[in-house]
Amino acid sequence: MKKLINAPADVLAEALLGVEAAHPDLRVDHQNRVIFRGDAPRAGKVGLVSGGGSGHEPLHGGFVGPGMLDAAACGEVFTSPVPDQILAATRGVDGGAGVLHIVKNYTGDVMNFEMAAELADTEVVAVVTDDDVAVQDSLYTVGRRGVGVTVLVEKIAGAAAESGRSLSEVADVARKVNAQGRSMGLALTSCTVPAAGSPTFDLPEDQIEVGIGIHGEPGRTRVPLAPASEMAQMLVDPILDDHEFTGGDGVLAFVNGMGGSPLIELYLMYHEVNRLLGKAGITVARSLVGSYITSLDMAGCSVTLLKLDDELLRLWDAPVRTSALRWGA
Amino acid sequence: MKKLINAPADVLAEALLGVEAAHPDLRVDHQNRVIFRGDAPRAGKVGLVSGGGSGHEPLHGGFVGPGMLDAAACGEVFTSPVPDQILAATRGVDGGAGVLHIVKNYTGDVMNFEMAAELADTEVVAVVTDDDVAVQDSLYTVGRRGVGVTVLVEKIAGAAAESGRSLSEVADVARKVNAQGRSMGLALTSCTVPAAGSPTFDLPEDQIEVGIGIHGEPGRTRVPLAPASEMAQMLVDPILDDHEFTGGDGVLAFVNGMGGSPLIELYLMYHEVNRLLGKAGITVARSLVGSYITSLDMAGCSVTLLKLDDELLRLWDAPVRTSALRWGA
């Protein structure tokens, strides 16, 4: 295992020291491993909390800031944060208008966020993302896994909260994004969890794993390594089979890198995805290309499509100021 | 070789189609492989052109936009753009106030930018970056190589040009950034050039290459894999030995990923670098953490320090709107 780390057990704690040093507009609670907006809690604003295992950076800490999350609770690598961490995040963002939990659908995450919500002395609503069309149940999940759409939920619900909407309104828009979004990913290589020290799974040099989860959970199938045009089809087809994306105000097309794939390849994949959507009569109104929800050093990518409407477009375009997504502010 | 590509010969052309599709505010000249600001040329504004081999994304195309570059000429992977490409870029950004070429110090780049400048029918000034303290001469370079400081030159000179300064003033500030910046990098793994199909060099599982170039050129030395704290020292010490960074208005500290290293590790390295700078009595006034000048899928990182003054601070903080760096606009 070759990594830019000291002891595997210290990776998260030391990375959080780096986040704090690099971003003076954030506040890091090192004891609870929570990254806060520097000005949290904001009186009268719905607080947005997300979190989950680390190793998916910039998700979620890179999305803390005005127009997006108020706090991110950081579990150990690929490990759910414990209820105490989520509770500390919830309390720290409670400005009197209630708190929204944005939770990726993994059994541990869902359970720990629920326990924290019960312990909180404010109104909490949870929205669980489950956009991965690859598999129904999985290694850590009952139902579909929450993946790329989580980034879009955090941005769009974040804009809704920033504009002063109520907790139930912000939760509604978050649910709408999840309902109208679908994702699918593939891996060219495994990732290596620091504490394990060796690759999570074996993938022969001539094969790819289609429908991979963001922790290296098995996907739908292993197939021979293929050209990008065919790999794009392996991701786009199951998404289009699962949901109707034509008409309306078009889609947001998001090509996400898994961490180890260079940006030049992600743009090439975006070209292939965009071409396939055009052939399917789908209008791409917005796009996002980059490594935003990753699996440590895994090579590969995922595609997320979100069906847009007027409201979602406006909220997507609204100003955001975080370390990983920033515009208009 | 496992990559998200079709034929190796088509990587750049297809990635540029993706860039065009993803960024409606840019214009791509596919024949010349130049990425332009959509509104180039801007009358009365000094035009900024950079470029070089591809495979270092987001450098340079990701830095095209208001407040930074007007155009980027994209060579094949790790191959200088030819003079015709650079000439097309230069002509396309000529708003009557002259054009600045920002050139990383590699023999091919320097020569081809010089030839393009001679062919141009406008005034052209070139600033060559050579911030890499690792080695004096190298595989593709006479003198020091241009690496991480190039990102900072493009940002700061871009702000100067945007504010209406003259060509000689913009060139002066670009030279100042290069003169006050130093970098050093290390590799945990090689990268794989698509056209080659196999890793550029062999690096045993228990060794790292210190002082690596961004094309996998040999560095200063190979040493056993070490903890992040020691790796940070291997990068920071030679930089501090080479230039005085104490006093004044502090430094900008930039921890850059080589492409294959996940963000959580870069933040951990930033913590180590920040700690070492504190011990050396150096004040960090600004920071940048992420993969901004990469070597395809190479794992590793580089550190760049820039000594700041009032003028550089103001220009660094000025609004910028590109796909890879964006704030205040």
Residue range B4-25, pLDDT digits in tens: 999 999 999 999 999 999 999 9
Q: Is residue A278 part of a domain?
A: yes
DSSP annotation of A138 reads B
Q: Report how far residue A328's alpha carbon sits from residue B166's, in angstroms, rounded to the nearest whole number.
A: 28
Q: Is residue A326 part of a domain?
A: no
Question: Is residue B329 pLDDT above 80, yes or no?
Answer: no
Where residue B112 sits, what CATH number does that domain have? 3.40.50.10440
B271 is catalytic: no
Q: Is residue A216 part of a domain?
A: yes
Q: Do B228 and A261 touch (CB under 8 A)?
A: no
Of A180, A212, A231, the one marking the end of a domain is A180
Query: Model confidence at A139, in pLDDT bands (50, 70, 90)?
Result: confident
Q: Are A218 and A139 in contact (CB under 8 A)?
A: yes
Q: Is residue B120 part of a domain?
A: yes
Does A147 lie in the same domain as A39?
Answer: yes
Does B193 lie in the same domain as B100?
Answer: no
Does B120 lie in the same domain as B194?
Answer: no
Question: Is residue A329 pLDDT above 80, yes or no?
Answer: no
Query: Model confidence at A65, in pLDDT bands (50, 70, 90)?
Result: very high
A215 is catalytic: yes
Q: Which of A60, A101, A215, A243 is catalytic?
A: A215
**Facing residue for B21 by CB, picked from A5, A229, A270:** A270
Q: What pLDDT shows up at residue B57? A: 98
Q: What pLDDT shows up at residue B218? A: 86
Q: What is the mean pLDDT of residues B173-193?
A: 97
Does A165 lie in the same domain as A26?
Answer: yes
Q: How far is A48 from chain B (nearest CA, A)?
A: 22
Q: Report how far residue A127's alpha carbon sits from residue B312's, in angstroms, rounded to the nearest whole number.
A: 44
Does A52 lie in the same domain as A152?
Answer: yes
Where residue A213 sits, what CATH number does that domain have? 3.30.1180.20
Q: What pLDDT shows up at residue A90? A: 98
Q: Report how far residue B189's alpha carbon sits from residue B179's, in angstroms, rounded to the nearest whole number.
A: 30
Pseudo-torsion of CA B289, B293, B297, B301, nearest 10°? Answer: -50
Does A261 lie in the same domain as A154?
Answer: no
3-state DSSP assignment of residue A130? coil
Q: What pLDDT shows up at residue B139? A: 78
Q: What is the pLDDT of residues A220-279, one digit of tens each?
A: 999 999 999 999 999 999 999 999 999 889 999 999 999 999 999 999 999 999 999 999
Does A64 lie in the same domain as A207?
Answer: no
Q: What pLDDT shows up at residue B273? A: 98
Of A126, A147, A180, the one marking the end of a domain is A180
Q: What is the mean pLDDT of residues A95-116?
A: 98
Does B135 lie in the same domain as B34?
Answer: yes
Q: Is residue B271 part of a domain?
A: yes
Q: Are A55 and A296 in contact (CB under 8 A)?
A: yes
Q: Determine the angle formed by the axes of helices A228-242 and A263-279, rounding to 10 degrees.
A: 50
Higher per-residue pLDDT: A81 or A249: A81
Confirm whether the ipTM is greater than 0.85: yes
Q: What is the mean pLDDT of residues A8-17?
A: 98
**What residues make up the domain containing A146?**
11-180
Residue B306 host element (H or E): strand B300-307
Question: Is residue B44 pLDDT above 80, yes or no?
Answer: yes
Residue with tokens 């990268």: B191
Q: What pLDDT shows up at residue A245? A: 97
CB pairs under 8 A between A and B: 180
Q: What is the mean pLDDT of residues B174-197?
A: 97
Q: What is the pLDDT of residues B194-214, one digit of tens each?
A: 999 999 999 999 999 999 999
> For all residues of chain A together, what is the average pLDDT?
97
Q: What pLDDT shows up at residue B248? A: 84
Question: Is residue A141 pLDDT above 90, yes or no?
Answer: no
Does B201 lie in the same domain as B149?
Answer: no
Residues of A in contact with B57 (CB under 8 A): 262-264, 267
Residue A112 host element (H or E): helix A107-119
**Facing residue for B15 by CB, picked from A54, A264, A321:** A264
Does B108 lie in the same domain as B33?
Answer: yes
Q: Is residue B233 part of a domain?
A: yes
- Please provide the size of chain B in residues: 329
Phi/psi for A198 (5° steps) reads -140, 160
DSSP assignment of B105-168 equals S-HHHHHHHHHHHHH-SS-EEEEEE--B-S-SSBTTBSSSPP-THHHHHHHHHHHHHHTT--HH
| Nearest CA among B224, B214, B189 for reference residue B203 | B189
Phi/psi for A96 (5° steps) reads 95, -5
Q: Is residue B322 part of a domain?
A: no
Does A239 lie in the same domain as A303?
Answer: yes
Residue of A nearest to B19 (CA): A267
3-state DSSP assignment of residue A264? helix
> For all residues of chain B together, what is the average pLDDT?
97
| Nearest CA among A104, A149, A103, A127 for reference residue A252 | A149
Q: Is residue A324 part of a domain?
A: no
Q: What is the mean pLDDT of residues B265-289?
A: 98
Of A180, A214, A241, the one marking the end of a domain is A180
Q: What is the pLDDT of residues A157-211, one digit of tens each?
A: 999 999 999 999 999 999 999 999 999 999 999 999 999 999 999 999 999 999 9
Q: What is the pLDDT of residues B93-102, one digit of tens each?
A: 999 999 999 9
Q: How far is A308 from chain B (nearest CA, A)?
A: 16
3-state DSSP assignment of residue A83? helix
3-state DSSP assignment of residue B21? helix
**What is the number of structural domains in chain A?**
2
Q: What is the pLDDT of residues B212-266, one digit of tens each?
A: 999 999 899 999 999 999 999 999 999 999 999 998 899 999 999 999 999 999 9
- Please provide the size of chain A in residues: 329
Q: What pLDDT shows up at residue A208? A: 98
Q: What is the mean pLDDT of residues A117-145?
A: 93
Does B152 lie in the same domain as B73?
Answer: yes
Beta carbons within 8 Å of B39's beta carbon, 6+ residues apart = none
Q: Do A262 and B205 touch (CB under 8 A)?
A: no
Q: What is the pLDDT of residues B280-303, one digit of tens each?
A: 999 999 999 999 999 999 999 999
